[in-house]
Amino acid sequence: MTRLGRPGVLSGGTALVAALVGVVLAGVDPLSTLAGLGGTGLLAVGLVRRTRPAVTLGATGLGGAVVLGGVAGAGGAAVVGATAAVVLAWTVGQTSVELADHGPTARTARFELTHLGGTSLLLGAAAGIVLAPRLLRVDPSPLGVTLVLVGGVCLTGALLASER
């Protein structure tokens, strides 16, 4: 059986791509870029070793990179997109690890695609709601960007607390 047919490989690959998208969007300075790359590395280790705490720790590092990028001057759309990418990386990364328990011959591609599609749809809707005022030509306020950054901090805290 090919390696791509193993349970969780599709989700794991998607998690890494989403993590890299988050790094590209949030990495506006050296510190946020390094934090994002470090988080991506930890996420990759968690996916290879099939350990949920490492996946969560990697996603936490990515969340920190989003916060650092926002503080360093990333635009609102970049912060929202990076946040959505980090959440996608975390949730499909966790799914990848969980599916490894089903054995190497389990057929999980349909489930993985369904989970990825549903999660992407939900995150896209949330990002659309956050970005709607900007798209509707409403003057952006510092409060909106601050709320997104506070949401990033809360996400980071929740990810850390989920493994304790």
Distance CA 36, CA 67 (A): 10
The pLDDT of residue 140 is: 63
The pLDDT of residue 2 is: 41
Distance CA 163, CA 10 (A): 24
Q: Which of 84, 60, 58, 67 is nearest to 26 (CA)?
A: 67
Q: What tokens does 47 get?
A: 């996916």
Residue 146 backbone phi and psi in degrees, to 5: -60, -40
Q: pTM above the 0.85 mark?
A: no
The DSSP secondary-structure symbol of 101 reads G
The pLDDT of residue 107 is: 86
The pLDDT of residue 131 is: 82
The pLDDT of residue 5 is: 60
Give the three-state DSSP class for 24.
helix
The pLDDT of residue 105 is: 78
The DSSP secondary-structure symbol of 5 reads G
* Per-residue model confidence as pLDDT tens for the chain (164 residues): 344 567 888 999 999 999 999 999 999 999 999 999 999 999 999 999 999 999 999 999 999 999 999 999 998 899 999 999 999 999 999 999 988 877 777 888 898 999 899 889 988 888 888 888 777 765 667 777 787 778 878 877 887 777 66
The pLDDT of residue 35 is: 96
